[in-house]
Amino acid sequence: MNREKVIFAFFIVLALTLNFGFFVGDIDNPEHHDVLELFLALVVSLICTVLKFGDRSHLGALMLATSLVADLQLIIAAGIWGYGEHIAATGMDPRVMASVVSFAGGALLANITSVILLMVETVLIRR
Amino acid sequence: MYDILYVLLRRLRAPLITLIVVYAVSIFGLVLIPGQDDQGNVWHMSYFHAFYFVSFMGSTIGFGEIPYAFTDAQRMWTLCTIYACVVAWLYGIGTTLAVFQDSGFTRLLRLRRFVNHVRSLTEPFYLICGYGVTGSNLARELTERNVRVVVVDIDQDRIDELELDGLRIPVPAFCGDASLPDILDHAGLQLPNCAGVLALTNSDKVNLAISIASKVLKPKRIAISRSESDITTANLASFGTDLIVDPFRSYAEYVALAAHSPHRHLVFDWLMNPEHRNLASVYRHAKGRWIICGFGRFGSNISRELKQEDTEVTIIDPDRKNIRGLPGAVLGVGTEAVTLQQAGVEEAVGIVAGTANDADNLSIIMTARELNPKLITVVRQNLSANDLVFENSRCDFIMQPGQIIATRIMAQLKTPLLSEFLDQLMLQDEVWAHTLLNRMNATVGEEPLESRSVCIGTKEAPAVLEKLQEGTEIKLIALLKNPHYRKETLHCFPLMMRRGDEVKLLPGELTELQEGDDILFCGRKGALDRMAWTAFNYNTLHYVLTGNDATQSRLQRWLQGSDTK
């Protein structure tokens, strides 16, 4: 068992699960989406990106790219959340919540791709 | 070339993760710990405020406790996270700095800068491998003529020297082993504008590798190599290296030429070095015995050359093994009067101080001159740091192998015809050389003697070509007229003309020009420039030929042509 591989896979899968956890629920209902999960999803996604740094293989480059996409989506979602909660005059209305969740949904797709790539890599190395 | 980015990111992985984790934990802690607002109600910090607070707290900017004054629990947590953040930042910045100072990483950076510089060159350039005496001389001469060069040397000190040398145009230089094909590739060996490769390192093996790589990749490109042994020379010649120079042999030939045919030697000297000695300085040709101190590579080459011309030679060497079997050889260094007298310095005509020690060489010359003031003295200079002493030693020849091959190579790069002329010169006799010298002297006087070749073709002489195609006969003398005033003749004359395989020395002024002729001229620099201008510019050539100004446009010229028909 390779400890490094365990950590790597752990973070990638965790990024997906946290992201999914935030995403499920009615799209415009703030009650269904915990901001803690968005925060954790963003942090874990950032850690995933750094873990993928410096791998020069083709698959490594793809993984890094999906991670960067997820980061971008989540940062935008967090930004919109901050805007809705603190800056917007209307407060957190369903429209703002819907756009936060839909951005997180985009990140979810990127994270799913990342996990698929991880599985592809695992299948390719038959040991 | 994304290596640099990857290396940087890989090394920064741990500090970046540390930073993210510390920030996440700090923010999370602030969100969890209950605070109080200004009315004393329980208030939970939101992620937005927590991130804002940690952002300025972590970088120790410190705007205060925002938006409400903290409770003691919040302060305690802040106390912990402040130190954690500072440590995480120091770790990150420290690692970044360490990466940039790492020798492997800086080497990668330098290589990348070098490759980018070489790739950005648009003009033709020469690749010089080995920045020793020869390499640095050539780099200086070429850059003075605004020719681009790229330098590779295995020694970082020499590359640093290049930066201090203050060459006129920037020269991309890299420290690396030139015998490795990828280093050569980085240096632009495969680029279409690489005009020539000069292998000038101290090692024959490396020079061989460079020349082979160059010839394999582009057989038609000029490859010039230095060689110190006959085996390497033969090997280099076998795959068509354009010029092979052996520093010891070329200098030996040069000195021997001075000893037995001073006039040919002076012609050679004038054509090779523009800063020439005047005609009066022709070495008196005295037949007689020469003494050679030091029978190493240099000494043995000179001795061989001199013996070929039937000159008697006496060897002085401190090593008994070296002089075994040599008749009349004397054991000793040659710095003491006794040894020199034993070798018969009083009756000798010349002495060569060719040991590997500069101080010994100078001492030999001083002692010998005291015993026989009429001696022709040849001294070998090993270190270029001793320039000052040698310049003032009043020796007839100072042997610096690096310099002599630099001028030789420069001549080849400037005008390949010149090398051919020099070969032809060796076949002529002294009287011929003497006549030529007088003519050269009358032409240039005290000014430097320059040489230049002109090829009758579209590149160098489009005007001549056009006139020839119009059916005009052009004699060689037309090019020698002053383009400002055609009754005057320029201070230059043709040395050699090559038509196909036929080579004619000192062609007559009435020779008719043909397309494809290569002509080598010598004379004052200004005169050669004017001559090249006449060959290049149609109107000037027309004036020189007819005395009239040419009609300007091609259309008018065509109309005029049809009128006369």
Residues of chain B in contact with residue A47, where contact means CB-CB under 8 angstroms, are 17, 20-21
Residue in chain B closest to A85 (alpha carbons) equals B48
Distance CA B386, CA B362 (A): 11
Nearest to B10 among A39, A47, A53 (CB): A53
A115 or B428: which leads in pLDDT: A115
- Whether residues A54 and B10 touch (CB distance < 8 A) is answered with yes
Using CA atoms, how far apart are residues B396 and B528, in angstroms rounded to an integer? 31
Q: Which residues of B touch A54 (CB under 8 A)?
A: 6-7, 9-11, 13
pLDDT under 50: residue ranges of chain B:
564-565
Q: pLDDT value at position B81?
A: 93
DSSP tag of B123? S
Which value, in Å, is the radius of gyration of the alpha carbons in chain A?
16
Q: Which residue of B has its CA nearest to A80?
A: B48
Contacts with B27 from chain A: Cβ below 8 Å: 39
Q: Is the ipTM of this complex over 0.85?
A: yes
Put simply, the answer to whether B48 touches A85 (Cβ < 8 Å) is yes
As a whole number of Å, the end-to-end CA separation of chain B is: 66
Structural domain spans, chain A: 3-124
* Chain A CB within 8 Å of residue B7 CB: yes
Report the amino acid identity of residue B73: A
Q: Does domain B251-409 have CATH number 3.40.50.720?
A: yes
The count of residues in chain A is 127
pLDDT of residue B207: 92
Asked if B6 reaches chain A (Cβ–Cβ under 8 Å), the answer is: yes
Q: Does B10 touch chain A (CB under 8 A)?
A: yes
Fold of B3-101: Helix Hairpins (1.10.287)
> What are the pLDDT digits (tens) for B169-224?
889 999 988 888 888 889 998 899 999 999 999 888 999 999 999 999 888 888 99
A86 neighbourhood in chain B, CB within 8 Å: 46, 48
pLDDT of B560 reads: 66
Nearest alpha-carbon partner for B223 in B244, B246, B250: B244
Q: For the domain B105-245, what is the CATH superfamily, name and number?
A: NAD(P)-binding Rossmann-like Domain (3.40.50.720)
- Copy the structure tokens of residue B133: 């005496």
B214-B215-B219 Cα angle (round to 5): 125
Q: Are strands B397-399 and B376-380 parallel, antiparallel or unpaired?
A: parallel
Interface test with chain A among B31, B47, B52, B95, by most A beta carbons within 10 Å: B47
Instruction: Give the residue numbers in A contacting B (CB under 8 Å), as ranges.
Output: 35-36, 39-40, 43, 46-47, 50-51, 53-54, 56, 78, 81-82, 85-86
Taking the C-alpha atoms of residue B441 and residue B444, their distance in angstroms, rounded to an integer, is 6
| Ranges of each domain in chain B | 3-101, 105-245, 251-409, 449-564
Residue of chain B whose Cα is closest to the Cα of A81 = B48
Domains B105-245 and B449-564 equal at CATH topology level: no
Residue with tokens 């002529």: B428
CB contact under 8 A, A86 and B46: yes
Among B17, B44, B43, smallest CA distance to B29 is for B44
Output the pLDDT for position B565.
42
CB distance from B44 to chain A under 8 Å?
no
A54–B28 CB contact, under 8 Å: no
Residues in chain B: 565
How close A120 comes to chain B (CA, Å)? 23
Contact A85 B28 (CB under 8 A): no
**What is the average per-residue pLDDT within A25-48?**
92
Report the C-alpha gap between B214 and B531 in whole angstroms. Answer: 35
Sequence-distant (≥ 6) Cβ neighbours of residue B50 within 8 angstroms: B26, B27, B28, B30, B31
B391's enclosing H/E stretch is helix B387-391
- Judge whether B9 is closer than 8 Å to chain A, CB to CB: yes
Give Cβ neighbours of residue B235 (< 8 Å, ≥ 6 apart): B208
User: How high is the pLDDT of residue A121?
Assistant: 86
* B48: contact with A, CB 8 A cutoff: yes
Q: List, for residues A44-89, the tens digit of each pLDDT value.
A: 999 999 998 877 788 888 999 999 999 999 999 999 999 998 888 8
pLDDT at A16: 95
Q: In this structure, is the dihedral angle defined by the CA atoms of residues A63, A64, A67 and A69, taken in order, positive or negative? A: negative
Chain A positions in Cβ-Cβ contact with residue B6 (cut-off 8 Å): 53-54, 56
Query: What's the token pair of residue B264?
Result: 């040919």
Query: What pLDDT sits at residue B280?
Result: 62
CA neighbor of B224 nearest in space, from B447, B419, B508: B419
Are the Cβ atoms of A43 and B47 closer than 8 angstroms? Answer: no
Q: What is the pLDDT of residue A15?
A: 95
Compute the distance between CA of residue B95 and CA of residue B102 in angstroms, rounded to an integer. 10
CB contact under 8 A, B48 and A86: yes
Q: Tell me: domain B449-564, CATH 3.30.70.1450, correct?
A: yes
Count of CB atoms situated within 10 Å of the CB of B274: 14
Per-residue buried b or exposed e for B520-536, using 16+ beta carbons within 10 Å of the residue's own CB: bbbbbbebbebbbebbb
CA nearest B527: which of B476, B485, B563, B492? Answer: B492
With CB atoms and an 8 Å threshold, state whether B7 touches A54. Answer: yes
